[in-house]
Amino acid sequence: MSSRIPLPYSPKVIELFRNPKNLGKMEDPTVYATAGSPACGDMITIYLKIVDERIVDASFISYGCAANIAAASMLTEMVKNLTLKDAWNISWKRISDELGGLPSIKFHCGVLAVGALRRAIREYFKDKSKPDWLPKNLSFEEKQALEEEKILEMFSRVRKI
Ligand code: FES
């Protein structure tokens, strides 16, 4: 008998984990970005199709957990037809609320999804003039994604020793 205690996932998280929306690599994205570490498995890539600074399509691939898949599914649904500015302003907390809440040890799964989205939006503006609403400094979600990548890389090096 397993001694693992199931996490208290909301019905919405379970539903989107079982039937994620927008799952899969986009063949012709305008931009895409990844957050997380492939070495450790927690990794997500967000693909965006952008027309006139509006997201007309979004998809993702995830090597994260159920919460990460559900968060990415929700995020990609929410950003469709939004301007880049409005998409930027979606926080991991809002994703969590839309999912009916995430267990606290799974907050980072939503943070990682938003981190990847914001990287993709920054990538879009890489060679363009930056709009006023795009912060010069990394946002909380981007910093967290960076921190997690460092930690995951560290663990992956330790595992190889
Ligand atoms: Fe790492 Fe969910 S993405 S535990």
Tell me, using a 6 A CB cutoff, whether residue 62 lines ligand 1: no
Q: Does any domain span residue 1?
A: no
| pLDDT at 39 (0 to 100) | 61
Cβ of 65 less than 6 Å from ligand 1? yes
Q: Whose CA is nearest to atom 4 of ligand 1?
A: 65
Choose one of 16, 65, 95 to mutate for the ligand 1 pocket test, by most ligand atoms within 8 angstroms of C-beta.
65
The pLDDT, as a whole number, for residue 42 is: 82
Q: How many residues does the chain have?
A: 161
* pLDDT tens by residue, the chain, 161 residues: 556 667 889 999 999 999 999 999 999 999 999 998 766 668 899 999 999 999 999 999 998 889 999 999 999 999 999 999 999 999 999 999 999 999 998 888 899 999 999 999 999 999 999 999 999 999 998 998 888 888 877 777 776 66
Helices (H), the chain: 11-18, 66-79, 84-88, 92-98, 107-124, 140-160
Question: Within a domain: residue 30?
Answer: yes
Domain that includes residue 134, residue range:
11-160
Residue 38 lies in a domain: yes
Domain assignment of residue 104, yes or no:
yes
pTM of the model: 0.90
- Quote the ligand 1 centre to 14 CA distance (angstroms): 15
Check if 40 is active-site: yes
- Does 3 map to a domain? no
Please check whether residue 5 lies inside any domain of the structure.
no
Of these residues, 13, 66, 95, 109, which one is catalytic?
Answer: 109
Structural domain includes residue 41: yes
pLDDT score for 40 = 60
Q: 23: helix, coil or strand?
A: strand
User: Residue 116's closest CA among 95, 150, 141?
Assistant: 141
65 belongs to the catalytic site? no
In 3D, which of 141, 147, 139, 112 has the Cα closest to residue 34? 112
Evaluate: CB of 111 within 6 angstroms of ligand 1: no
For ligand 1, the distance from its centroid to the CA atom of residue 132, given in whole angstroms, is 32
CA distance 18 to 26: 20
CB 36 within 8 A of CB 145: yes
**How many folded domains does the chain comprise?**
1
* CATH, residue 114: 3.90.1010.10
**152 inside domain:** yes
